[in-house]
Amino acid sequence: MTSVHPRALDFPQPFLDGVIPDEAELTAGERVEAGKSYGFFTDTTLCIGCKACEVACKEWNNLPADKDRMTGDSYDNTGALSAHTWRHVAFIERIGRRGGDSTTMPPYQSNWLMMSDVCKHCHNAPCLEACPTGAIFRTEFDTVVVQTDICNGCGYCVPACPFGVVEVSDQDGKAHKCTLCYDRLKGGLEPACAKACPTDSIQFGELSGLVTRAQTRVFELHAQGQPAAYLYGAPETPGATGGLDWLNCFFLLTERPEVYNLPAAPSRAANRVRPALAAGLATAGLLTLAAAALMRGGRA
C-alpha cells in the first residue's frame, strides 16, 4: 500500500504531452503557491544513503561532476556541499570500536548514520544579508536564491554562511548554492531531490505543515524506542539560534549536530556588524581626540 493522491487518477497513461499542472500536489501532496514559505524536512532516520538526491540535483540543475578520487571516508566521496554540489549525503560509521556492536544496535540508523545535507534557506539568511550586490534574494516562496547574472563573485557570502554551503565556482566566477529548485517551484513541481528520494527522507512542503509533520515524527520515534531523535533548525530547536530564527530546511537528527558537520548553535553573521563597528568607531574617535590634542599641544 502506498499513498496515492486522488488527482493521480486523472493521468492514467504512461506518456504525457506536458507537465502535469501542479504536479507537486501528486508527488508531495502540496500545491506550490507564491507567498507561502517552503522548505525541506530531511529525516535522517529514513535516509538509506542512495545519493539519488545528489544525482537528481546535478541532473536537473546541470551541475558538473568534479570528483575523480575516493576519499576513504566511508561511502562519502562528495565530501561537502559546494558550488557544484547542492545535495551532499554524509556517512558516519559508528560501528565497532567507535560505536556499539552492530548486533545490539538500537532501532533505526544508529551505527551507520546517513544524512542528506542541503542549503538551509535560513529565515535570516547570512549569505543574503552579506551580499552587497543584491544577487542573493528572497523569492516569493520564501527561499534564498543567487541570481548569477548579478553576482560579481565578491565571495562575501561564502564566509558569511554558518553552514559552509555557498561557494564561488571556479568555472564561472559566481556564487552558487541550492535554489530549492526555484524554476521547478515556479512550474508547480516538487524540487528534484525530494521527488527522487525513494524513502521520503527528504520531504518538501509548506513550512508550518512540515514542522508539524516533523514534530509528529519525533514523537513517533520516541514512542518506538528512539529517544535520541530531535529536530535541528525547526523553530525553537538547535540550529535555529543566534538570530537565524529558523531554517526553512531543517533536519531530524539522532546524534549531536557536530557529528553531521553541523554547528550546535550557529548565529547570524550580521549580528557582529554593530559591535565591531561601534568598537571601531569608538577607537577611531578616541584616537582622533588624542591626535587633536597632540597636534594642538605641538603648536603650543
Partner 1 sequence: MPQWDLANADCIVVMGSNMAENHPIAFRFVMQAKTRGATLIHGDPRFTRTSAMADIYAPVRAGSDIAFLGGLIRHVLENDLWFREFAMSFTNLSTIIHEGYRDPEDLDGHFSGWDEDEQTYLADTWQYEGQHVPSSLAEHHVLTTESFAEEVRDMSEGPPPNDPSLQHPRCVYQILRRHYARYTPDMVERVTGCPRDVFAKVADALCRNSGRERTTGFCYAVGWTHHSTGVQIIRAAAILQALLGNVGRPGGGILALRGHTSIQGSTDIPTLYDMLPGYLPQPHAFKPHATLKDYLATEQSPTGWWFSFPDYAVSLLKAWYGAAADEAGDFGYSWIPKMVGDHSQLPMTMAMADGVLRGLVVLGQNPVIGGSNSRLVQEGLGRLEWLVVRDFTETETASFWYAGDPVRNGGLQPADIATEVFLMPASITGEKAGSFTNTHRLVQWHEQVVDSPGDSRSETWFVYHLGRRLKELYAGSDRARDQPIQALTWDYPVEARRQEPDAEAVLKEINGYRVADGALLSSFKDTRADGSTACGCWIYSGVFPREGFNKARERRPDGPDGPGMHLGWAFAWPNNRRILGNRASADPDGRPWSERKRLMWWEPAEGRWVGADEIDFEETKAPDYRPDWSGNVKGMEAIGGHEPFIMIADGRAALFAPSGLEDGPLPTHYEPFESPIHNPLYKAQSNPAAKLWPRLDNTYHDEADPRFPHVLTTYRLTEHHSGGSPTRSVPVTAELQPEGFAEIPSELAQRLGIRSLDWVVLSTLRGEVQTRALVTDRLRPFRVDGRVVHQIGMPWHFGWEGYATGDIANVLTSIVADPNTSMHENKALTCALRKGRLKEVRR
Partner 2 sequence: MSGHPLPYGRPNMPAAPAAYRGETYYGRAAVKHSPWDWRIGAYMFAAGMAGGSQILAALGEASKDRRWDGMVRNARTVAVVNATVGGLLLISDLKTPNRWYNMLRIFRPTSPMSMGSFVLTGFGTLSAATLAGHALGWRRAARAAQVPAALAGVGMTTYTGALLAATSTPAWSASPRLLGARTASAGMASAAAALALGERAGGRGGTGQTLDRLALLATGLDLALSLTADASKNRAGVEAPRGGERMRRLSAYALAHALPLGLYALNAGVRRPSPGVSVAAALSVLVGQALMRGHLLQSGQRSATRPGDYFRLTQPSRGVQRIGGAGDA
Q: Does residue 36 bind partner 2 (CB under 8 A)?
A: no
Q: Does residue 118 bind partner 2 (CB under 8 A)?
A: no
Instruction: Tell me which residue has cell 529525516.
Output: 43
Cell of 261: 558537520
Q: Does residue 77 bind partner 1 (CB under 8 A)?
A: yes
Name which of 123 and 217 has its Cβ closer to partner 1.
217
Residue numbers 64-83 binding partner 2 by CB under 8 A? 71, 73, 76, 79-80
Please identify which residue in 64, 96, 159, 198 interacts with partner 2, judged by CB under 8 A.
Answer: 159
Q: Which residues contact 248 (CB under 8 A, 6 or more apart)?
A: 37, 38, 39, 40, 120, 121, 122, 123, 142, 143, 180, 207
Please identify which residue in 28, 52, 53, 269 interacts with partner 1, judged by CB under 8 A.
Answer: 52
Name which of 27 and 133 has its Cβ closer to partner 1.
27
Q: What is the DSSP letter of 189?
A: P
Q: Does residue 112 bind partner 1 (CB under 8 A)?
A: yes
Least spacing, CB of residue 32 vs partner 2, in Å: 27
Of the candidates 260, 250, 255, the one whose C-alpha atom is nearest the C-alpha of residue 228 is: 255
295's contact among partner 2, partner 1, none, with CB below 5 to 8 A by partner kind, is partner 2
Of the candidates 122, 191, 204, the one whose C-alpha atom is nearest the C-alpha of residue 157 is: 122
Q: Where do runs of H (alpha helix) occur along the chain?
A: 23-28, 52-61, 126-130, 157-160, 182-186, 192-196, 207-223, 273-299
Q: Which residues contact 32 (CB under 8 A, 6 or more apart)?
A: 22, 24, 38, 141, 185, 188, 189, 190
Q: Does residue 96 bind partner 2 (CB under 8 A)?
A: no
9's contact among partner 1, partner 2, none, with CB below 5 to 8 A by partner kind, is partner 1
Please identify which residue in 90, 114, 131, 146 interacts with partner 1, judged by CB under 8 A.
Answer: 114
Instruction: Tell me which residue has cell 501532496.
Output: 29
Least spacing, CB of residue 198 vs partner 1, in Å: 5
Label the pairing between strands 38-43 and 250-253: parallel
The residues that touch partner 1, with contacts defined as CB under 8 A, are 1-6, 8-9, 11-15, 46, 48-52, 54-55, 58-59, 63-70, 72-75, 77-78, 93, 95-98, 102-103, 105, 107-109, 111-114, 198-200, 220, 224
